[in-house]
Amino acid sequence: MNNTHASQPRVNDKYRLVLASTLMLFVEMMLIRWVSSNIYQIYLFTNFILIASFLGIGIGFLRANKTKSYFPVSPILLALVVMLCYVYSIDYQVKLNPATGNLDYYTTALKSKAYPIIFTLPIIFISVVATLAAIADTVARSFKQLPALAAYRLEVSGTIAGIVIFSALAFFESSPLAWGIIIALLFCILFFDHWRKSGISLLMIIQISAITLILGTFYIETTTDHIWSTYYKIQVKSFAPDSYVVNVNGLAQQIIEPLQQRKKIKPFYFKPYEHMPKDMSLDNVLVIGSGTGGDVAIALANGAKHVDAVEIDPALYRLGKKLNVDKPYDDPRVTIYINDGRAFLQHTSQKYDLIIYALTDSLMSVTGLSSVRLENYLYTLEGLTAAANHLKPDGVFTIYNYYGLRWFADRIGNTLNIIYQHPPCIDKYSAQDYWATVFTISHNKDILQCTSLWESTHESSEKPATDNHPFIYLQENTLPPIYIFALLSMGIIAFFVTRKMGASLTAITRYFDLFLMGTAFLLLETSSVVNYALLFGTTWLVNSLVFIGILLSVYLAIEVVARVKKFNIYFLYFLLIVSLFIAWMTPMNSLLSFTPYARFFIATCLMFSPIFIANLIFAERFDVVSNSTDALGANLIGAVLGGFLEYSALAIGYQHFALIVLFIYTIAFCWLVMRKQAAS
């Protein structure tokens, strides 16, 4: 039967549901950003924050029928998480190696409070779960006062508002203070009725104090020397005349220093030019990952007549323009593009004399939803081939990084060997050390003047990363032990936290098909985000638009189900299976040959068709549940399992996600059929 109530739903319940849902999504997005920006170890596990958020929200819905509400303590819990991350954040200490005059990268940004991840992750995980469960408590209590589908429509409307507001703040590179003001306003509105009726009380004083603490922490963070770009928490400190270290999310990522100082201390930047013919004309140069402009300045000093500089983070570009003493970004020969490097290669038709991959190590995941980092698609076989296709016949490609491990350097060397059909030049920090390694190669191997070539050996050669399996920092296509341990640990913690907070797990067995739908839909979301990142770039804007598009698809499915009397659920499952099968059979990188508009149209049809159909199925099923909060809670707990299964991509790649989703939806369909047969 439909989830209706004898009393007429109050208008206040509707507004409260929308506002509380906005707060819930906004806090979720804020915590993903805040935690990873302050606790550097979390950058390997950012999607654990998302998993913790889904678990907390699911717990909030599963305990909606409990007498005791956790929402009154939600600002206190949030304040504790905010303070924990702030106190835990890294003290920025610049240290020089007296022997070389170079930075000591391993101690420049670290401090004694950088506790092992084995202690950090569980504490943060439990804290985020508790905070989101407390906020979801009031969402669920308003939710159950309304008919199921009507409540779901309002909840989705609130989540759309939350992500739009957060994305708008990211667009304007707003500081944490802006986040705190939004959160404080929403808390005050939601608590207003209770404060007005109960008057001044101890709980009210504690709540206001907690909200003030959040605002105060964010204010202190805003007034420090930190810069909050759309990707990073950035801090800049001087360590020598006209020299600065750029710290992002707690790690030293870039150095701004004069050209001559760089030539003296880090000569590997200049190695590619030594391998070129002396009379080679650099009419057109491309620098991908131009950052604060050091590589651009070197290219100009070596005679480049024009440089296309591609940098994904506008804040890093502005820092280079302001602080780089060589002023490369003020040079009329330079054109700056704020874009993802792989996306730029797909969109430009230019040919270059020299292409540079300049230390494109982002230290940043695409989103909290996947294990892909911003630079991963640059280093795949297809990504490096795209760069090769933009070289002139005698053009030169160079790539350098702090590889550290031989197998990683060998993976890049072997990939270049496969693409160009001959080994690249290799320059290492020392004969045995692969810390700073430079590869230089050309279609015309005869023009290069190499003192040492990369050598392939059976033991050291590594298979190239691919667009389907873009995990360049993973040596084997398997789940590393650290992730296995983390997943098992968080799974156990999730079970005990769920039971401890009084959430009933019997709803999962009662709404097992909805639980499975949550699992499959999380994988569909992940697949969409990753595929759009490949096709259109790993920029924050692309990711935000994909998330907004997914939520709009959910909302549209609700509206369609609300206006159509009855869908044939079997036919919908058939359409879903067909759409998933087509998605599985279509490699996403095959769309890169199309024009951007054609690529967008085809990709949207391929990826959003199963998303929309899956939501039609969910909305149709959800409209007739007997307990809407238990049903949605089961669905959200299913998304937690989906978050864990996302790590399977490390072993199987993303192309086969469609098969996993297909399998899960098939089980959900079989369960629904058996349920109907048992009821008849």
pLDDT tens digits, residue range 192-236?
888 888 778 898 999 999 999 999 999 988 888 888 988 888 888
Burial of residue 541 (number of CB atoms within 10 Å: 0-12, 13-18, 19+)? middle
pLDDT tens-digit map of 601-655: 999 999 999 999 999 999 999 998 999 999 999 999 999 999 999 988 888 888 8
Mean pLDDT of 328-342: 95
CB 470, CB 99: distance < 8 Å:
no
The residue to which tokens 């304040």 are assigned: 79
How is residue 113 written in tokens? 């409070």
Q: Tell me if residue 164 falls in helix, strand or coil.
A: helix
Dist CA 378 CA 470 (whole Å): 9
Residue 433: pLDDT over 70? no
The radius of gyration of the chain from alpha carbons, rounded to an integer in Å, stands at 26
Mean pLDDT of 317-327: 95
Residue 363: pLDDT over 70? no
Mean pLDDT of 250-266: 85
* DSSP-derived secondary structure letter, 67: S
pLDDT of the residue at 2: 43
User: Tell me, which fold does domain 233-361+381-447 have in CATH?
Assistant: Rossmann fold (3.40.50)
Residue 19: pLDDT over 60? yes
Residue 111: pLDDT over 70? no
Candidates 1.10.3470, 1.10.287, 2.60.40, 1.20.1250; correct CATH number of 11-226+476-679?
A: 1.20.1250
Q: 461 pLDDT band (50/70/90 cuts)?
A: low
Average pLDDT value over all residues in the chain: 87
Task: Name the residue among 487, 489, 497 with its Cα closest to residue 133.
Answer: 497
Mean pLDDT of 308-326: 94
Residue 458: pLDDT over 80? no
* DSSP-derived secondary structure letter, 8: P
Dist CA 149 CA 466 (whole Å): 42
Q: 476 pLDDT band (50/70/90 cuts)?
A: confident
More confident residue, 301 or 479: 301
Query: Looking at 112-121, 180-189, 348-357, 545-554, which range is the least confident one?
Result: 112-121
Domains of the chain, residue spans: 11-226+476-679, 233-361+381-447
pLDDT of the residue at 150: 93
pLDDT of the residue at 265: 82
Task: Name the residue among 273, 295, 240, 291 with its Cα closest to residue 427.
Answer: 273
Using DSSP bridges, classify how beta strands 307-311 and 285-288 pair: parallel, antiparallel or unpaired.
Answer: parallel
Dist CA 7 CA 52 (whole Å): 35
CB 630, CB 510: distance < 8 Å:
yes
**For residue 143, how many C-alpha atoms fall within 13 Å in the half-sphere facing its CB?**
30
E strand or H helix at 194, and its extent?
A: helix 176-198
Dist CA 35 CA 29 (whole Å): 10
pTM of the model: 0.89
The answer for residues whose C-beta is within 8 angstroms of residue 113's C-beta and 6 or more apart is: 87, 88, 90, 91
